[in-house]
Homo-oligomer: A and B are copies of this chain.
Amino acid sequence: MPLDLSAGPVELTRAICDIESVSGNEKELADAIEHALSPCAHLTVARIGNNVIARTNLGRAQRVAIAGHIDTVPVNDNLPTRYESLGGVDYLWGRGTVDMKAGVAVQLSLAAELVDPRYDITWLWYDNEEVASELNGLRRLSVDRPDLLEADFAILGEPSGADVEGGCNGTLRVDVHLSGLRAHAARPWVGDNAIHKAAPVLTTLAEYTPREVEVDGLVYREALNAVMIRGGVATNVIPDDCVVHVNYRFAPSRSGEEAVAHLNELFGEHRVTVVDLAEGARPGLDTPFAQEFLAAVGAEAKPKYGWTDVARFAALGIPAVNYGPGDALKAHADDERVALSEIVACEQALRRWLTAR
């Protein structure tokens, strides 16, 4: 069934959540978005891979970029979506409702509706945000087609509880390699158990106290976690190899290089290899455009803990903030759910700002 962009952002959220689009599987949803936008005469629509870019060309003095990713983390028995109230609040439950199809739905509704906005707008919907950064659709566009990202200000619709969240933590993933020597499991004293060597690494992680760091007036909370572990050869062999995959979320005042150095400090007695690194972004809320946006939507400014693609705009010199419906604490959670009122509030505030004269 084709998407109905005039159905309202709540119904539209439900419709696009029920088109499963776990990273790598975005084609069906990208097709639906491209198809739904094709009747909009005020938009020039481009399709690049599973990214859809829709631009107005009204000759306005300023342009804003408004972007959202269309992929989700893996489904965990939480699709299709369902409506259910909890504590007197109406929610839509299911994978992607928070991260970040409610934000995408708000954007799609307004993209179709706003034929005469106050600024020229570049709407961007992109793939592979939840996986390695080299696959990220917005990163690929920023490298291959930076002209499509050009703007005076950018808004990313990541879940921010309908508040404005500035900047973002950086994220670093490393493998900590533990090595040993194989032997028969009945005679471990002639081998060297690599999995047992993970004990102090995991103890360090379990006991680690993350920093809270103030940057440009906002306090960023860091995080350090093992997100994957694997080891073992066979059930009767002392393992010679174990790999702990560690994710470090670091404040935007710390560089990528400093983040790598910190993990080497913690785990450097073992071999540490960098798998993925994306620097954070300072809040950037002191720019006039950001100040004006904050005032127009009437939202409070807060720090963003999770890494988001605002960092890609920041790297291009474009001030960028996160603004979208949904409690980020429920992103990736099994009980992921978005309050319907936040979807409506975001749509109304963005409309107010984009149509003010």
Which residues from chain A sit less than 8 Å from chain B, CB to CB? Answer: 73-74, 76, 99, 130-132, 169, 171, 173, 182-191, 193, 195-200, 202-203, 205-206, 221, 223, 225-240, 242, 244-245, 247, 249, 275-276, 305-307, 328-329, 331-334
Q: Give A195 to B229 CA distance when docked, in angstroms.
A: 7
- Besides A182-B333, A185-B223, A228-B231, 14 other A-B contacts (C-beta < 8 A): A171-B185, A171-B186, A182-B332, A182-B334, A185-B227, A186-B307, A187-B305, A191-B333, A193-B206, A195-B228, A199-B206, A226-B239, A230-B231, A235-B247
Residue of chain B at shortest CB distance from A73: B234
State whether A333 touches B229 (Cβ < 8 A).
no
When distances are taken between beta carbons in the complex, the residues of chain B under 8 Å from A199 are 199, 202-203, 205-206
* Known A-B contacts A173-B235, A202-B196; A332 and B225 likewise in contact (beta carbons under 8 Å): no
Residue of chain B at shortest CB distance from A230: B230
When distances are taken between beta carbons in the complex, the residues of chain B under 8 Å from A328 are 184, 186-187
* Known A-B contacts A202-B196, A205-B196, A228-B231; A249 and B186 likewise in contact (beta carbons under 8 Å): yes
A92 → chain B closest CB, angstroms = 18
State whether A183 touches B333 (Cβ < 8 A).
yes
Name the contact of A236 in the complex, choosing from B73, B239, B333 (C-beta under 8 A).
Answer: B73
* Known A-B contacts A199-B202, A228-B231, A232-B228; A223 and B306 likewise in contact (beta carbons under 8 Å): no
* Known A-B contacts A74-B233, A173-B235, A235-B245; A226 and B186 likewise in contact (beta carbons under 8 Å): no
Interchain Cβ contacts under 8 Å between A and B, 13 examples:
A73-B234, A73-B236, A73-B237, A184-B331, A185-B332, A190-B329, A195-B228, A197-B206, A199-B205, A200-B203, A227-B239, A229-B230, A237-B332
A152 → chain B closest CB, angstroms = 28
A272 → chain B closest CB, angstroms = 16
**Most chain B CB within a 10 A radius of its CB, from A169, A184, A199, A206:** A184
State whether A226 touches B193 (Cβ < 8 A).
yes
State whether B227 touches A182 (Cβ < 8 A).
no
* Known A-B contacts A182-B333, A203-B203, A334-B182; A234 and B229 likewise in contact (beta carbons under 8 Å): no
When distances are taken between beta carbons in the complex, the residues of chain B under 8 Å from A203 are 199-200, 203
Name the contact of A198 in the complex, choosing from B130, B229, B245 (C-beta under 8 A).
Answer: B229
When distances are taken between beta carbons in the complex, the residues of chain B under 8 Å from A275 are 235
* Known A-B contacts A185-B223, A186-B169, A332-B183; A236 and B229 likewise in contact (beta carbons under 8 Å): no
When distances are taken between beta carbons in the complex, the residues of chain B under 8 Å from A334 are 182, 240
When distances are taken between beta carbons in the complex, the residues of chain B under 8 Å from A244 are 195
Name the contact of A232 in the complex, choosing from B186, B193, B245, B249 (C-beta under 8 A).
Answer: B245
A278 → chain B closest CB, angstroms = 11
When distances are taken between beta carbons in the complex, the residues of chain B under 8 Å from A332 are 182-185, 234, 236-237
When distances are taken between beta carbons in the complex, the residues of chain B under 8 Å from A188 are 223, 225
State whether A193 touches B225 (Cβ < 8 A).
yes
Residue of chain B at shortest CB distance from A238: B225
